[in-house]
Amino acid sequence: MMGRQSAQEQLFYSFRFEDHIPGDHLLRQLDLVLNFERVRSVLAGHYSATGRPSIDPELMLRILLIGYVYGIRSERQLCSEVHLNLAYRWFCRLGLEGVVPDHSTFSKNRYGRFRESGIYRVLFEDVVGQCCSAGLVSGEGFAVDGSLIGSDAGRTRRVESVNAIREGEARSRPVREYLEALDAGNPVHPSEARYLSPTDPAAAWNVKEGRGKFGYFNNYLIDTDHAVIVDVEATPARLAQEIIATKAMLERVEEKHHLRPERLAADKAYGTGPFLGWLSKHKIIPHIPVLDRQHQTDGLLPREAFTFNPDSNHYTCPQNKILKHCTARTDSPIHIYRATVGDCKSCPIRQQCTRGTQRSLSVPFDESTRQEVMALQNTEAFQHSRRLRKKVEMLFAHMKQHFRFTRLKLRGLAGAAEEFLLVATVQNLRRLVRLRPPAIADTPCLSTT
């Protein structure tokens, strides 16, 4: 006999959430390692002791984490999905009848209490602390890189001066924050930028991916053992900002988690002399290709063809003529060595050496450090670090493909930092639930204070 589905609605149901959420569900695993005790203590000072109870901040953060875990970029859609999905309701402690907050509530909290308290960094650092406690961070080898993320600003609507931003009628929150930082002398925002967006002026114009667009760099500092992200920094998408961000992250990780790596791996964009010197001063071995342009001689004799005499501080050319040190400023980052006009005029290989009246050499002041790092490039340790550095690129690929995180939703540098911290927190949580030791696999981790 063929059965028929009844359309009559039951009056009573026997329903238990635990029976409908699989034991291996990702949200169930994440729930085991999440702890909001320190989050609540940090936020306590930003809520009034009187008046009506507000929406639980833990509920707001749990909903936001769901959005980044499953790549739901729209807050309106996110609230709708939480309302309909049983697993989402279970993770948010809403039960069957709990009311999902309106999507507009997220904006009010993000620009208010959450931003003022820096709660996203608190949550991120707690998860990093749990990864350290689980033995997933050795602190021996770090790697760093940045990935371009487009901002919520159109590429066609742009201006070429700060005055155009100041004279604009619309003074939105990102514009006010940018002008305040600029007036305070913040070096992150240079006033001579090529293009500025009147919508999000803190975002930098970048042509890294072909067509120019406004965006930010998501800078990751990772421990290379298990690719745990130990720090995150948001910067405008300018190459010079990547090194500034790396210094800030290394100092912050040492202060917060007492971690200082033995070696740091990065690509050639980080191989400037001053940064290599900074790493050496902090007892960090740079496994970074040196950014060296001395071979760009346009067919002329390279600097290796000249011999340096450290005792008299001069170079000798292949024809045994002396190039004297003639830098005017003692604090100059570049040392200049120059031959005399008479020596070059009668030189038989002048056409191979210079196209001017005399040959000169430009030598960076940190040349000794650069040579030391170059000597490391043929070692097995250096090559091993270079292979491990690809783990950073793997995290960026995962972020863009699986989390659909290719464009920012929030504007301003603070908004970019919030989004970068949230997506990095989710990536660390996923790694924590997959790699944590079995001994702690069934018990919630304590918050790190």
* pLDDT tens-place string over residues 367-419: 777 778 888 888 999 999 999 999 999 999 999 998 889 999 999 999 999 99
Residue 358, C-beta contacts closer than 8 angstroms, at least 6 positions apart: 338, 339, 340, 341, 343, 344
Q: How many residues does the chain have?
A: 449
**What is the residue type of 166?**
R
Residue 439 lies in a domain: no
Do 157 and 75 share a structural domain?
no
Do 209 and 109 share a structural domain?
no
- Whether the per-residue pLDDT at 449 is higher than 70: the answer is no
Do 107 and 189 share a structural domain?
no
Do 396 and 252 share a structural domain?
yes
Do 93 and 148 share a structural domain?
no
**Nearest-CA neighbor of 178 among 416, 423, 5?**
416
* Domain span including residue 379: 139-284+375-417
How far is it, in rounded angstroms, from Cα 333 to Cα 354?
Answer: 23
Do 182 and 274 share a structural domain?
yes
- Whether the per-residue pLDDT at 66 is higher than 50: the answer is yes
Domain C-terminal end among 83, 117, 151: 117
> Sign of the CA dihedral 420, 422, 395, 230?
positive
Residue 81 lies in a domain: yes
Count of the separate structural domains present in the chain: 2
Do 54 and 189 share a structural domain?
no
Provide DSSP, 252-272: HHHHHH----SEEE--GGG--
Q: What is the pLDDT of residue 184?
A: 82
pTM for this model (two decimals): 0.83
Q: Model confidence at 311, in pLDDT bands (50, 70, 90)?
A: confident
Q: Model confidence at 444, in pLDDT bands (50, 70, 90)?
A: very low
Residue 132 lies in a domain: no
CB 125 within 8 A of CB 256: yes
Residue 314 lies in a domain: no
Do 146 and 272 share a structural domain?
yes
Residue 7 lies in a domain: no
How far is it, in rounded angstroms, from Cα 429 to Cα 435?
Answer: 10
Q: Where are the beta strands (DSSP E) in 213-340?
A: 213-223, 228-236, 263-265, 285-287, 307-309, 314-316, 322-325, 334-338
